[in-house]
Structure 1
Amino acid sequence: MTTKLYTKDEIVEKAKEIAHMIANTEEVEFFKKAEEQINENQFVREKIASLKALQKQAVNFQHLGKEKALKMIEGKITGIETEIDELPVVQQFKQSQTEVNELLQLVSNAIANNVTDEVIASTGGDVLKGETGSKVRNSTPGSCS
């Protein structure tokens, strides 16, 4: 039995199909809606603008060696970051990011594990032990090397 060999282009084309499928999941839809809510939230936009201004000041103070001023600015930055992180809309956004990342990790792991299993099976190996056929044949007691 001959197995069809695939080109990189064919694999990339399938990857694009999977990417399209992932982009059209409930997880990604929720992520897009959560991001939109953040972008529409005036309070969040103002806090982010303040944060960016403080971060610029922090870089300047650090460059000028003004440690006391830098510590004060860093404290303000931490306070604003905490305020932002405590908002339900931001928590929902972060949760949706986590769920999308978990989905991507799941797909990545599924691909890696199935490639490994296919290689093991195609060489006559032992999938349960995770050994390819050549390893199984060369590790059997009494076999000739």
Structure 2
Amino acid sequence: MSSSPILDERVLQKAKLIADMIASSEEVARFKQAEEKMKRHPDAQALLFNVKALRNRYSQTSLRLGDDHPEAIKAKEAFEAVVDQLEQIPVVEQFQAAQMELNDLLQGITKIVALTMEGFHVEWGKSDEVTASCGSGGCGGGCSAKGCAV
């Protein structure tokens, strides 16, 4: 089954438009700003390097010896201690918050696309929540339409 090159081009153009809109969103701006702060914070960078090394050590040790082995437990504790130190740095907290906001935006977009493809009527509410209905009118999420209990 081949698709129309014209239709594909229209879809790709719309995808590019959406990508441009996402790139110019406040969420992306906050994320990039927080990311730059993280890159310029020497303590955060050093701890991130240690977190990666300790995560690998813990992962390898637990795979090789099992999660309950004293060496694996020791590696996990060392990893968690450095993560705790890292999370005490304000720029790390800001970065994590910005990352979550951007992730929420992207998940919301994905949800809208998926629900629309399934034939749901999708609306963006005042509380920044995506709501969907089957479009049959008045089912309140209780109808038997395929996947309607959204």
Mapping for residues 1-145 of structure 1, pairs under 5 Å? 7-62=7-62, 65=65, 67-111=69-113, 112-113=115-116, 116-117=120-121, 126-129=135-138
* Number of positions where the alignment pairs a residue of Structure 1 with one of Structure 2: 121
Letter of the aligned partner of 1:15 in structure 2? A
Deviations 1:76-106 (A, max 9, x none): 1001111112321111111111111222233
TM, length-normalised to structure 2: 0.65
With over 3 angstroms needed to count, the CA separation of the structure-2 counterparts of 1:126 and 1:69, relative to structure 1, is closer
* 1:108-134 Cα shifts (integer Å, max 9, x gaps): 34443485339xxxxxx954247xxxx
Measure, in 1, the Cα distance between the counterparts of 2:83 and 2:46.
Answer: 12
Cα distance in 2 for residues equivalent to 1:60 and 1:18: 41
Residues 30-83 of structure 1: CA distance to partner in whole angstroms, max 9, x if unpaired? 100101111111101111222233234334534653822221121010011111
Q: Is the 8 A contact 1:117 1:127 kept in 2?
A: no
Q: TM-score by structure 1 length?
A: 0.67
1:68, 1:46 → 2: CA distance? 26
Cα RMSD after superposing both structures:
3.0
- Tell me which protein shows more helix as a share of its residues: 1
For the residues of structure 2 that align with 1:64 and 1:116, how far apart are their CA atoms? 48
Structure 1: gaps (5+ residues): 1-5, 119-124, 136-145
The structure with the largest strand share of the pair is 2
Instruction: Please tell me whether Structure 1 or Structure 2 has the larger radius of gyration of its CA atoms.
Output: 1
